[in-house]
Structure 1
Amino acid sequence: MYFIFEITFSSNKNYISKLIRGYANKTEIEVEIVQTKDKIVMIFNQDDEKLESFLLNMEDLLPASLFLGNANHYFSEEKPSLVAVEQSNLPVNIAPCPSCQKEMFDVSSRRFYYPFTSCNSCGSQHPFLTKYPYIRANTTMKFLVPCSECEKERETNFLRKDYPLISCIECGIGLRMLNQETEHMALNKGDYHNLFKVSAGAISTGKTVLMKTIHGYRKFFYPKPNASSIDKIKFTTNKVDIGLSKPQNTSTKHIENNVALSTLLMANSAGFNKHLMLVEQEFNALLSIERPLLRVATKSDEIKKFYGSSALVKYPDDGMTMLLAAEAVKHGLEYMAYIECSSDEEADFLVDFDMPINTQKDTKLFINQDAKFFISGERIIYPTIAKNEKARVTVAHDLACVPLEEESIIDSFSVFDSVYTSELYVLDAQKNFGNEENNQNKFEQYEASMLSVLAEYEKVGEKAIGVHFDGSLNFLYYNGKKVINAVPAIPFESDNLWEKIRTLRDGSDRLVNNYKKAYPKIWDRLDNLEGDMDVFEVTAITLGLENESFEGISSESLSFLGKGGLQIDTKIKDNRFDNYAFLTSIMSYQLGDVENNYICYSIYESFGDYIGELVPQLCDKVGSNIVVLSGETFANQSLYASIQKTLGAKKPLMNKNFPIGKENAVYGALYL
């Protein structure tokens, strides 16, 4: 008789099953551990006397995870037949596990306040990777020789058995702290502790700290209206960093002065219910070992004053940020803010280390009741193993899928050596690869995005209707072989905007003249737009939002608490989305003194109605009820709710393990 214990686990990542295997080896219990595509199964001998204690202790050992679900158990006379997912040796990029956190805060540990503490199943491993395979010689840690205690651990500690990045304060990465006058090096436990204590103290007094975290440079500060800090210095470093995060806005000083554009870092979970309006799923996601970015509703007056009705929120996600937050709590801070920036950003203090790192884009998560999906980003999701029957190489958004020995890995293009392939598929907007452009098969984002969803649900080859919404709105038809843009959006060009609106239809010229009188500064700004801007950026400028992006409109829409929206024009002819009609409608409501949050809410409700009207027509026309949704724009509560209302009966499909945004293309291109 077998005792079967199952835990729902909706990912092919193996850090949880690896942790369980390590613990099973330590306790010498007889158990077979199998990870399938949707669960982790433990098969025990019913009579094993260690069984009860093993399961109880395992509960304390396992971290919270986005992918973990309910557990159940049963008895069986026969061993269950299971299809296991491939077990791979890929570096993760998640928060420290409970065991590693315990070491960081244990004064008797060799890793007390050592921010690079990690093990086989946790921590920021990927930033140190330089190439595959994932061994110490292929990481920037190769320059550090483990001490005798770490060597002993690598042989005996079930958490760090043969761990490539093993290190401690004695043999690991050193930290330094600088201000205008002094430089402080961390050489022992007391130094490491004091460095984070001083950093948190500086932030609590209104100073700024530029800190190199394992996810790149972040500038930390305590948010306050029109925040500014005097006597800042511009730090320059002599190090060469691989792929460091760059500022996402043209001026990080502008972000600091406009706190709403920063990320809110909650220093302690005790402040969640005081400052944020969280549903249980959001609370659990923020505390998960994956540590995603979440946009959540604000609650306290002080946070509303800084961020408005919603904020991008993060819980400490690496050793550096975790230790800083722990000291911030001791200084009375429940939260702080940070911006991602470059190494020469101005700040009062600099905390730095000399090890090069290869950063990944943070991953945003969307939650609506029981629905949960990744919006964008690389961390948490990549690297991953991909099924690649054709041994094809695909490239999109600086990510690549490359066959290595018997498996194909999707990861940053920079970690792969030269690859020779007979099939190279490259996103049309991506720079050229290879010696000759004619060796490349170019593809569009919407094609690969739709196929990435169909592949996840094993529906490649079946007819389907798709909606790709990412800056522009396109309705797609997949005939089982090829993705066709059946109802493309009318192209949008932001230059000469007023002339295009003026000639849109009868009366449009009067709207332009009236708008110029009512909003001369915005009119002038829109008359001098530069660069390739999408309709959401232009809409945010039109509405005068601080965050001039889709994110800004989405955030503003969340502050509307009413029901029922205005009708925003989404089309003029042939059922095609018309960007200029859309903008004209918004300007008309502005002239009618309609509140911005009502307009933003109405934008998404109108899109939902439009999509809900057109998709069933296309389904009937092609004889298919498979509907695919892709693109970041769907990550909006108002639009998602509207889509569920209009298309819910068709149960539209969206990415499960990959982002719904552009980073899914590298996977979808395998099926072109």
Structure 2
Amino acid sequence: MYFIFEIEFFSNKSYFSDLILAYAEQEQVEIDVMQSNDKIVMVFDKEDEQLESFLNGIEEVLPASLFLGNGKHYFSDVKPELLPVTKINLPVNIAPCPTCQKEMFDVSSRRYYYPFTSCNHCGTQHPFLEKYPYNRAHTVMKFLVPCNDCQEEAKSNTLRLDYPLITCIECGISIRMLDKESEHLALNKGDYRKLFEVSGRAIAAGKNVLMKTAHGYRKFFKPTVENSPAESTLLMADSNGFNVHLMMVIQEFNALLSIERPLLRIATKSDELKALYGSSVQVKYPDDGMTMLLAREIMNSGLQYISYIECNEDEESDFLVDFDMPINAQKDTKLFINQDKKLFVSGERILFPTVVENSKNVVSVAHGLACVKVDNLSIIDSVEVFDSVQTDSVYVLQDEDFESGHSNEHRFLQWKASMMSVLAEHSKVGQKAIGVHFDGTLNFLYYNGKDVINAVPAIPFESDNLWEKISTLREGSDRLVVNYKKAYPEVFERLDSLAGDMDIFKVTAIALGLENESLEGISEQALSFLGKGGLQIDTRIKDNRFDNYAFLTSIMSYQLGDVENNFMCYSIYESFGDYIGEIVPQLIEKTEAKIITLTGETFANQSLYGRIQRTLGQYNPLMNKNFPIGKENAVYGALYL
């Protein structure tokens, strides 16, 4: 008889199951751990006397995770037929686990206030990787010799057995703080604590601190009405402040506090935050040792939150906190949540590196990522961490600044690879499908089982001579241009000076006078509209193709009618949802395809996503699960072109 404990875990990442195995070894409990793409299964001998204490103890060891779902237990006479966890040595880039956090805040630990505390199953490992295979000799830690305590720990501590990045204050990375006049080097526990104390107090006093973190340079500051840049991120130091300052559902709260620490756009709640950021703000909970220790001192200084911008080392600041070790920073990952649905929008951290199936001897390259075979495993990671490789062919994204020099190089388009990435994730390659790719431009795709075709391409948009194109669009358009020039002379002149290719959403944001002149700015405004039902904005004018000029003309007409920006932006997404909901069924009828795929960052919007669920929900459209719905999915999809 076996005792079975199952936990839903919707990822192929193994750091969670590896941690379970390591803890079982530490507690000397016999256990089999198996993992599929949607669950982790723990199998115990029912007669094991340590079972109860193990299950109670593991609650303190396991972190919260984005990928975790419900758990259940039962008894069985036979073991489940899942594959045991295969140890794949890939560096993670997540927050410290509960055990490592305890060390950082335990004054008796030799890692007290040491920001690079991590173990085999957590922490910021990837930034220190130079190349594969992942071992100490291939990381920047090769320049540091572990002290005797660390060497012994690498042999005896089950969480850090042979851990490539094992260090402590005695043998690890030194940090220093500089102001305009002096430099302070942290050499011991007291120094490390003092450095973060001074940083926290400086920010609370209105100064700014430029800090090198495992995710690159961040400039931290106390936001004010005069100083809260639109591109800044709110760092919530105190989790008690979430419900005070933000309007959140439980799924968003859990995601922010998960060990993966994604970026989320959240609606503001408190008057003070609305004054600083408007109706919504991009939010982060401390995600690495540097930021986590700073956050503790921010709380000790009486603040619940601060802000930061991502920048380079030359950014002007009052204080600089730095360390000499080079890092390979990953782009942060944005997460979109709609009820129980979680979608990765863009970024690298959390999701990469990853292992994928690739039966062909092919290398793919897109957006600085590459899929390369290393020791018979196909790994997707940043291009820089791979040495030269022998391959039959190379697939490179169109316009990617990458020269392979290979005689069999192929260039591919984003929308083709994006659609194929979804079909591959859902094991639908070879089956006819309709795809909608919406990422700045809107394209309707058809996959005939062999190739992806742009069935309803958008009408090309060029922003130069904009007023001439609008004035000749339809009868009465010339009067619209005259009236718009009178009502909005400054915007008219700005749009009149545009030249060449430009994103229609940037042009729209300029027309609406938004501070954030991008699709993100429009999305922020849409999120602030709390009503129901939007205006109908033109999305096409002929052949059912999306017409950028008709779209822009419609918006300008509503502007002249004094329609509020947030209502307008909400209506933009609703209208796109209706348009997509009309075109897709027509393509299904013509092609008899039964599969729908949705790709592109634009779908990460509550009003558009909700509208799509109403118009296309009956078709159960497929989206990426383990990859971003945005551009980074291309490196995986290219393997199936």
| TM-score, scaled to structure 1 | 0.94
The residue aligned with 1:252 is none
User: Any runs of at least 4 consecutive aligned residues in structure 1 with deviations exceeding 3 A, and if so which?
Assistant: 83-87
Q: Which of 410, 429, 433 in structure 1 is aligned with 2:399? A: 429
- Decide whether the 8 Å contact of 2:33 with 2:85 is kept in 1: no
2: CA distance, partners of 1:51 / 1:67 = 25
The residue aligned with 2:254 is 284
Matched, 1:539 2:508: yes
2: CA distance, partners of 1:115 / 1:95 = 11
Matched, 1:466 2:445: no
Q: 1:469 to 1:24 in 2, by over 3 A?
A: same
The residue aligned with 2:383 is 413
The residue aligned with 1:247 is none
2: CA distance, partners of 1:531 / 1:420 = 40
SS of the equivalent of 1:346 reads: coil
1: CA distance, partners of 2:215 / 2:379 = 21
The residue aligned with 2:332 is 362
Question: Which residues of structure 2 form unaligned runs of 5+?
Answer: none
The residue aligned with 2:280 is 310
Q: 1:649 to 1:94 in 2, by over 3 A?
A: same
The residue aligned with 2:419 is 450
2: CA distance, partners of 1:183 / 1:531 = 49
The residue aligned with 2:245 is 275
2: CA distance, partners of 1:417 / 1:527 = 49
Q: 1:348 to 1:531 in 2, by over 3 A?
A: farther
- Decide whether the 8 Å contact of 1:210 with 1:217 is kept in 2: yes
How far 1:530 moved relative to its partner? 5.1
2: CA distance, partners of 1:444 / 1:496 = 28
SS of the equivalent of 2:64 reads: coil
The residue aligned with 1:648 is 617
How far 1:333 moved relative to its partner? 0.6
Matched, 1:483 2:417: no
Q: 1:274 to 1:202 in 2, by over 3 A?
A: same
The residue aligned with 2:186 is 186
2: CA distance, partners of 1:622 / 1:87 = 44
How far 1:538 moved relative to its partner? 1.0
Q: 1:609 to 1:318 in 2, by over 3 A?
A: same
Q: Which of 354, 371, 378 in structure 2 is aligned with 1:384? A: 354
How far 1:354 moved relative to its partner? 0.3
The residue aligned with 2:79 is 79
Matched, 1:294 2:264: yes
After the TM superposition, which of the residue ranges 86-95 and 355-364 deviates more from structure 2?
Answer: 86-95
Written as runs of structure 1 = structure 2, the 5 A alignment for 1:516-531 is 516-529=485-498
Write the deviation string for residues 455-503 of structure 1: whole angstroms up to 9, x where unpaired: 1111111111000000000000001111010000111122222222222
User: CA-atom RMSD, angstroms?
Assistant: 1.1
Matched, 1:264 2:238: no
Write the deviation string for residues 281-315 of structure 1: whole angstroms up to 9, x where unpaired: 00000000000000011100000011111110000
1: CA distance, partners of 2:483 / 2:56 = 71
- AA matched with 1:116: F
- Decide whether the 8 Å contact of 1:276 with 1:299 is kept in 2: yes
- Decide whether the 8 Å contact of 1:5 with 1:42 is kept in 2: yes
2: CA distance, partners of 1:306 / 1:533 = 30
The residue aligned with 1:198 is 198
- Decide whether the 8 Å contact of 1:464 with 1:628 is kept in 2: yes
How far 1:353 moved relative to its partner? 0.4
The residue aligned with 1:166 is 166
Write the deviation string for residues 572-626 of structure 1: whole angstroms up to 9, x where unpaired: 0011001111111111111111100010000000000000111111111111221
- Decide whether the 8 Å contact of 1:556 with 1:600 is kept in 2: yes
The residue aligned with 1:573 is 542
Written as runs of structure 1 = structure 2, the 5 A alignment for 1:147-166 is 147-166=147-166
- Decide whether the 8 Å contact of 1:37 with 1:84 is kept in 2: no
The residue aligned with 1:551 is 520
SS of the equivalent of 2:454 reads: strand
- AA matched with 1:262: S
SS of the equivalent of 2:92 reads: coil
Matched, 1:661 2:630: yes
The residue aligned with 1:346 is 316
How far 1:60 moved relative to its partner? 1.1
How far 1:84 moved relative to its partner? 4.9
1: CA distance, partners of 2:80 / 2:92 = 30
1: CA distance, partners of 2:586 / 2:617 = 15
2: CA distance, partners of 1:456 / 1:11 = 12
- AA matched with 2:181: E
How far 1:73 moved relative to its partner? 1.1
- Decide whether the 8 Å contact of 1:260 with 1:306 is kept in 2: no
SS of the equivalent of 2:158 reads: coil
The residue aligned with 2:126 is 126
Count of residues paired in the alignment: 641
2: CA distance, partners of 1:340 / 1:121 = 26
